[in-house]
A and B are shown apart, each in its own frame.
Chain A
Amino acid sequence: EVQLVESGGGLVQPGGSLRLSCAASGFTFSSYDMHWVRQATGKGLEWVSAIGTAGDTYYPGSVKGRFTISRENAKNSLYLQMNSLRAGDTAVYYCARGRTPYGSGSLYFDYWGQGTLVTVSS
């Protein structure tokens, strides 16, 4: 059974840092692209970052230069280092497994973790 379990969320002051982790099990972690997707309370889903099987990384402009995604295949783990946090980063952060069976345009997220809440507030 595929499982993704996030941890590391919490309350942090503006300008602070936080590192999220996602423990994966039930599949060959190293063979899949992995993503972080966030959701502010009462709002929609926003893609935050991606890491490919070769370690290539991708970010939207809203977090580029502040967030760093990484993976440790030997530990079946995904990470998100978040620096210079802002109130607008407050959200539940989900890790998700990406699938692109027909090429990059066909991306979808077939498994999601339960999410971890990050609150940025003084």
Chain B
Amino acid sequence: DIQMTQSPSTLSASVGDRVTITCRASQSISSWLAWYQQKPGKAPKLLIYKASSLESGVPSRFSGSGSGTEFTLTISSLQPDDFATYYCQQSLGFGQGTKVEIK
């Protein structure tokens, strides 16, 4: 099985900051990576698929990049609504999550 490892586990940031979350795969997964946002008590929401394709309706401050084994999710200017936990996903496996909290 391919293992997905996210870093950091927790990230403290302020509104307006540029935020980057990394996801590493234990072996090459081409560009088959998705990113989700989850807020407490809510279901995950798809943000990015195929590593860099923005899901319809998702703000353009979210972007994804990478291929092979290393991927990043970037929020260009953190907004109050963005404080949440973010997960990467490849096929049937998920990363352990990165909580973005207020600094």
Contact = CB atoms under 8 A, between A and B. Distances in A.
A105 B34 contact: no
Interface in B36-55: 36, 42-46, 49-50, 55
Interface stretch (A42-50, A68-76, A79-87): A42-50
Question: Which of B30, B36, B43, B46 lies at the interface centre, i.e. has the most chain A CB atoms within 10 A of its CB?
Answer: B43
Interface residues on B, range: 20 to 34
B28 to A, nearest CB: 11
A68 B75 CA distance: 39
Interface string B82-103: 0000010101111111000000
Nearest to A115: B43
Interface in A75-122: 94, 99, 102, 104-110, 112-115
A106 B48 CA distance: 12
Contacts, number: 53
A60 B94 CA distance: 13
B29 interface: yes
A105 B94 contact: no
A60 B93 CA distance: 10
Interface residues of A, number: 21
Contacts of B93: 47
B33 to A, nearest CB: 9
Contact of A45 (B30, B42, B46, B87): B87
A110 B34 CA distance: 10
Contacts of B30: 105
Nearest to B29: A105
A101 B85 CA distance: 26
Contacts of A106: 32, 49-50
A121 B35 CA distance: 33
Nearest to A114: B43
B50 A109 contact: no
Contacts of A113: 43
Given A106-B50, A114-B43, A115-B43, A45 B94 contact: yes
B55 A110 contact: yes
